[in-house]
Amino acid sequence: MTLTMFTLNAFYGLALAMNMFIIASGLNLIFGVLRVINFAHGMFYMFGAYITFTVAKSWGAPFFVGVLAAAAALGLIAFAIERLLLRHLYDREHLMQLLFTFALVLLMSDAAKMIWGTDQYSVGYPPGLGGAINLGFVVLPQYQLFLCAIGPLIAVAMWLLVDRTRWGRVVRAATQDREMLAALGVNVPMVYAAVFTIGSALAGVGGALAAPRIALVPGMDATIINECFIIVIIGGLGNLWGSFLGALAFGFVVQFGTVLAPNWQDVLPYLLMLVVLLIRPWGLLGRPETN
Amino acid sequence: MKYSVMLAAVGILGAGTAVAQQPIKIGVLYPLTGGGAVYGVPALAGHQLAIEELNAKGGIMGRKVESIERDDKLNPASASSTMKELITKDKVDIVLGGLSSAVGLAMSEVSKQEKVVYIATIPKTIQMTTDKLHKYVFRTASNTDFEGDTMAMLAGKNKLSKICHLELDYAYGNDLEVGILKALPKHAPNAKIVLTLKPKLGATDFNPFIPQVMAAGCDGVLSGLWGPHFVSWVKQAAPLGFFNKIKWISGGEIGSHEIAGELKGEYPDNVISNAYELWYAGNDPSHKEFQARLAKKLNTQETPQWAALGYIGVMYAAAAMEKAKSTDPDKVSAALEGLTIGTPVGKLTIDAKTHQANIGQFWGPMVKKPDRAYRMMEPAEYIQPK
């Protein structure tokens, strides 16, 4: 592999990782606080992409208005779902929650079919990000560079929010002992609702940002949810920087692995998860469960 | 005792009158949800249009036609069990449809076991009409051998010397590769394949492959990337100037209006591809009228190509039953062998030996039009097997 090829592959791996991190971090946040495994997260991602299509292409608004619209819409949808339905299930067994989020997948996929039909859609690159930058020995596409910048920004923003604000302290406390927190006068149900809203809005943003570089088709939710789970699991469930690391590992393994061993492209992410789980069953930055 | 005899008598009488008026049941499977719905839904629209027209004309052999429609979910196992249910529970007289080659093979297997005629309207894998051919399976779609042969011919015509070959790693892609490799020495003896890459079915990220193709220095790509695969490739490769120098000769119907109309200004230069049907061009006088009826049904002038395939499948089922004067699978199968009918894409004949219809496709370069927001195939040449 020449230096040019190596740089290109490393760069593409990074761009993929950052796009995946934005989506997976929302799933991870929700699991960390609510302890709910949200199967509908991939569907939220797909809705984010489709909403961006409607706003940016059908209505002709600027692309980034579409991204904000996707975040807002998914936040609203998630808030309604949490307040009306999900909150009744926190004290039920995990199986009920799984069935519920799985039912959401089916309902939302039918809703998507009613709203957008079954056509294939595409969203154009935002102006100024549709070209490439020539660095002499390698040519890098601008949009992927943009993804490489926005991923760490979101990671730092989430870290500041959860680790450096009073509200973040409340959120962290909710993961430890929510009865105690409620006894101290904190409105725990609203904390849960806010976390579910933010986590789902991140899926919407992830879908919106993915939209210009892929075809939008029904079913695009299916693979993404598996990949998000892989990232969250190898990073350590509930750990923000774990998900960041998990996304990097995923991006590089998929990019370099597919180049070097194309016949293994289907199983590469799963192999990565298997290896990590064999060495550290609680994930890269997770902590072993102590009860 | 008396009561049960009476009941039985009523039952027999009832059955007698029911047979006379019972509709002919046509079972059909297309992917109607998930990734395949992009094609399955319009194919089903064409299917329904044909059924409506049949019934308006008095049905088949004077009997009404009932269409029983199911989702195959693009999944062979699911298609197989749904088709069995159609046969045993709904008692359909014939089964049409399928989209993916893997689903087509699974449906063909059920048709063989249950001895019910299956007309494959979209699956292209050559295996269905060669190694896995049996009495009850027929195909009105093109196949990977013919598509491969045409692509090789176009490689020769465009004087490609160094070829990069891209196929999706599943039944369709692998069989299309075989079809191309078989025909290349004949049509393009000077062409050499310098690189073969096989992304997985359903891939959305082509960044591991794009730099390899750009570094290989080929003057043309032969590609089997269809639908969303092609769109994602374009999105990721175009910013690098990928399409400036490389000729992209592609199967998989990316010349269809569904793709051109969606990509609009993002549709790249230098693409030569195919389509079963184009709303703006025809090879048969009957096409114009068919397209107008379809446009009315779908409420858009720019109709999708897949509808024609669903439509032709029903036309063949009806013609075979009329010819056999029966819905008996053995008689219908015999009637289909060598059967010629007129369709919106011209006269078609099903070969008696291979059970393959000689359907062709439109091929041509995708060019910009000053008065349109999207590209069109021009000139669109209808290439049909001899």
Report d(CA A133, CA A129) in Å as an integer. Answer: 10
Report d(CA A100, CA A117) in Å as an integer. Answer: 24
Contacts of B327 (CB under 8 A, 6+ apart): B24, B93, B94, B321
Closest residue by Cα to residue A56 from A110, A125, A132: A125
pTM, full prediction: 0.91
Handedness of CA A250, A251, A256, A261 (dihedral sign): positive
Torsion angle defined by CA atoms of residues B137, B349, B301 and B47, in that order, rounded to the nearest 10 degrees: -30
* E strand or H helix that includes residue A271: helix A268-279
What six digits make up the tokens of B53? 């027209």
The answer to whether residues B228 and B96 belong to one domain is no
Q: Looking at beta carbons, which residues of chain A come within 8 Å of B38? A: 118-120, 217-218
Q: Looking at beta carbons, which residues of chain A come within 8 Å of B37? A: 113, 118, 218-219
Alpha-carbon radius of gyration of chain A: 19
pLDDT confidence of residue B17: 46
- Whether residue B16 lies inside any domain: the answer is no
In chain B, which residue's Cα lies nearest the Cα of A220?
B35
The answer to whether residues B261 and B290 belong to one domain is no
DSSP-assigned letter for residue B350: B
The answer to whether residues B70 and B123 belong to one domain is yes
pLDDT confidence of residue B300: 95
pLDDT confidence of residue B5: 52
pLDDT confidence of residue B16: 45
Closest residue by Cα to residue B154 from B306, B331, B282, B273: B273
Tens digits of per-residue pLDDT, A137-159? Answer: 889 999 999 999 999 999 999 99
Q: Is the pLDDT of residue B169 over 60?
A: yes
Are A222 and B37 a contacting pair at CB < 8 A? no
Closest residue by Cα to residue B184 from B192, B174, B195, B176: B192
ipTM for the predicted complex comes to: 0.93
Cβ–Cβ under 8 Å, residues A7 and A138? yes
Are B205 and A131 a contacting pair at CB < 8 A? no
Tens digits of per-residue pLDDT, B222-235? Answer: 999 999 999 999 99
Are B262 and A259 a contacting pair at CB < 8 A? no
Quote the crossing angle between the two packed helices A142-164 and A166-176, to the nearest 10°. Answer: 80
Are A254 and B263 a contacting pair at CB < 8 A? no
Cis preceding linkage at A262, omega within 30? no
Q: Which CATH number belongs to the domain containing residue B328 in this structure?
A: 3.40.50.2300
Instruction: Show the CA angle centred on residue B328, arms to residues B327 and B334, nearest 5°.
Output: 100
- Whether residue B17 lies inside any domain: the answer is no
Closest residue by Cα to residue B247 from B213, B284, B293, B282: B213
The answer to whether residues B257 and B374 belong to one domain is yes
pLDDT confidence of residue B70: 97
Sheet holding B94-97, edge to edge: B65-71, B24-30, B94-97, B118-120, B137-139
The answer to whether residues B119 and B154 belong to one domain is no
Tens digits of per-residue pLDDT, B8-66? Answer: 544 444 444 444 578 999 999 999 987 788 899 999 999 999 999 999 999 999 999 99
Report d(CA B113, CA B35) in Å as an integer. Answer: 29
- Whether residue B267 lies inside any domain: the answer is yes
The answer to whether residues B168 and B239 belong to one domain is yes
The answer to whether residues B234 and B366 belong to one domain is yes
The answer to whether residues B257 and B302 belong to one domain is no
Report d(CA A200, CA A73) in Å as an integer. Answer: 10
B288-292: long-range contacts at Cβ-Cβ below 8 A with a sequence spacing of 24 or more? B290/B344, B291/B344
pLDDT confidence of residue A92: 87
- Whether residue B50 lies inside any domain: the answer is yes
Are A125 and B239 a contacting pair at CB < 8 A? yes
What six digits make up the tokens of B343? 């369709």
Q: Is B195 exposed, middle or buried (0-12, 13-18, 19+ CB in 10 A)?
A: middle
SS3 B360: coil
Cβ–Cβ under 8 Å, residues B295 and B31? no
The answer to whether residues B187 and B300 belong to one domain is no
Nearest to B204 among A121, A214, A265 (CB): A214
Produce one character per residue of A11-44: b if its CB has 16 or more CB atoms within 10 Å, e if not: bbbbbbbbbbbbbbbbbbbbbbbbebbbbbbbbb
* E strand or H helix that includes residue B285: none
Low-confidence ranges of chain A (pLDDT < 70): 290-291
- Whether residue B260 lies inside any domain: the answer is yes
Q: Is B229 exposed, middle or buried (0-12, 13-18, 19+ CB in 10 A)?
A: buried
Report d(CA A49, CA A38) in Å as an integer. Answer: 18
Torsion angle defined by CA atoms of residues A221, A223, A225 and A230, in that order, rounded to the nearest 10 degrees: -170
pLDDT band at B386 (very low <50, low <70, confident <90, very high): confident
Q: Is the pLDDT of residue B3 over 60?
A: no
pLDDT confidence of residue B252: 95
Which ranges of chain B does DSSP label H, i.e. alpha helix? Answer: 2-21, 37-56, 76-88, 101-114, 144-157, 171-187, 210-216, 227-237, 257-263, 286-298, 306-324, 329-336
The answer to whether residues B244 and B374 belong to one domain is yes
The answer to whether residues B29 and B135 belong to one domain is yes
Domain range enclosing B155: 145-275+362-383
- Whether residue B3 lies inside any domain: the answer is no
Q: Is the pLDDT of residue B185 over 80?
A: yes
Q: Is the pLDDT of residue B7 over 60?
A: no
Q: Shortest Cα distance from A15 to chain B (angstroms)?
A: 10
B242 inside 8 A of chain A by CB: no
| Percentage of chain B modeled with pLDDT above 70 | 95
In chain B, which residue's Cα lies nearest the Cα of A58?
B262
Produce one character per residue of A235-259: b if its CB has 16 or more CB atoms within 10 Å, e if not: bbbbbbebbbbbbbbbbbbbbbbbb
What is the widest separation between alpha-carbon atoms in chain B? 88
| B273 to A12, B14, B307, B379: CA distances (angstroms) | 29, 56, 19, 11
Number of domains in chain B: 2
Report d(CA B183, CA B154) in Å as an integer. Answer: 11
The answer to whether residues B210 and B223 belong to one domain is yes
Nearest to A120 among B198, B231, B239 (CB): B231
pLDDT confidence of residue A178: 85
pLDDT band at B350 (very low <50, low <70, confident <90, very high): very high
pLDDT band at B264 (very low <50, low <70, confident <90, very high): very high
Handedness of CA A255, A259, A265, A269 (dihedral sign): negative
> How far is Cα of residue B371 from the mean position of the Cα atoms in its chain?
30
Q: Is the pLDDT of residue B317 over 70?
A: yes
**Mean pLDDT score, B61-88:** 96
